[in-house]
Amino acid sequence: MKSVILACLAAVAIAAPQFVQPPNQVAILRDDRQDLGNGAFAYDFEAENGIVESRRGFSGSQGQTNMEGSFRFLLPDGTIAEVRYVADENGFRAESPLIPTPHPLPAHAIEQIRFAEEQRARGITFNDY
């Protein structure tokens, strides 16, 4: 009988809710926000874990808010990753060594493109049949 009671107590102890440690909290070192009016704004943010963001907004030619800024963060190997971007009438453009770029065209393809542009400039066209 004692062994049954002991087994029941062990089962209750195992089934008891486990206390989960809260996720790591990160201190915010800087959070500056300014609304300058007419769609213009400034935003700067920095956290103790290395995340930094800076963004500026200003009125665009078609009534939209254009933006430019950057953000950076630490990669697992300890290096800093940074992305700079612009968003305006011409779309969103980002620059970073982390963003993959297409392979360069081979020389013969570049020559074919140049030759086709030269023919087009002289008015030479080809009909599709």
User: Domain-by-domain residue ranges, the chain?
Assistant: 27-101
Banded model confidence at residue 42, pLDDT cuts 50, 70, 90? very high
Q: How many C-beta neighbours within 10 Å does residue 92 have?
A: 9
CB atoms within 10 A of CB 103: 6
Strands 80-88, 65-74: pairing kind:
antiparallel
Q: What is the pLDDT of residues 48-71, one digit of tens each?
A: 999 999 999 998 888 888 999 999
pLDDT band at 2 (very low <50, low <70, confident <90, very high): low
Cα distances (angstroms) measured from residue 2 to each of 12, 25, 38 = 15, 46, 78
pLDDT of residue 51: 94
Q: What is the pTM of this model?
A: 0.59
Helices (DSSP H) in the chain: which residue ranges? 2-15, 107-121
